[in-house]
Amino acid sequence: MADKDSVDFNPEHPQPNKFKQFLSESSQRFLATFLDDDIAKKERRQHIFKLINQAIAQKSIVVIQYKDLAKAKQADKYETLVGRLYQHPSNPESLVVKLQKDNQVKMISAQYIKKISLINPDFSRHVFASK
């Protein structure tokens, strides 16, 4: 049997308090990390939608790194799309990309966009006109 001194927490031994403090701090760190990930994803998504709206308003050509879930299982590579964006008014998550190289139309979901870059259609004219 265990004696009473070995079972009871003794204030002379700060180990139980340190253990409680460790558990509390680690739980708080875990929760903060979880919440920060959600905030970072939300900020990233807002930034992508801001660029999408800007590209549509300016009628800019976009370069998109996109990963389709059906193709993601086959390979871990992203697909690069270059063209103009169009957005359905009732479903902003669905985008239509009119590809620049062959005028094909491709429908994609905004949530699978990794990176988007805008190319202003008048940019090349201004650069070459000044030379």
Torsion angles phi and psi, residue 99, rounded to 5? -65, 140
Higher-confidence position of 34 and 59: 59
**What tens digit of pLDDT does each residue of 51-61 get?**
888 888 888 89
Query: 83 - beta bridge partners?
Result: 62, 99
Task: Please name the residues in contact with 93: beta carbons below 8 A apart, sequence gap of 6 or more.
Answer: 109, 110, 111
Query: The whole model's pTM is what?
Result: 0.60
User: Quick one: 78 exposed, middle or buried, by C-beta within 10 A (0-12, 13-18, 19+)?
Assistant: middle
Asked whether the beta carbons of 65 and 78 are under 8 A apart, the reply is yes
Torsion angles phi and psi, residue 119, rounded to 5? -125, 115
Q: In the predicted model, is pLDDT for residue 89 greater than 70?
A: yes
Token pair 């270059």 in the structure block, residue = 82
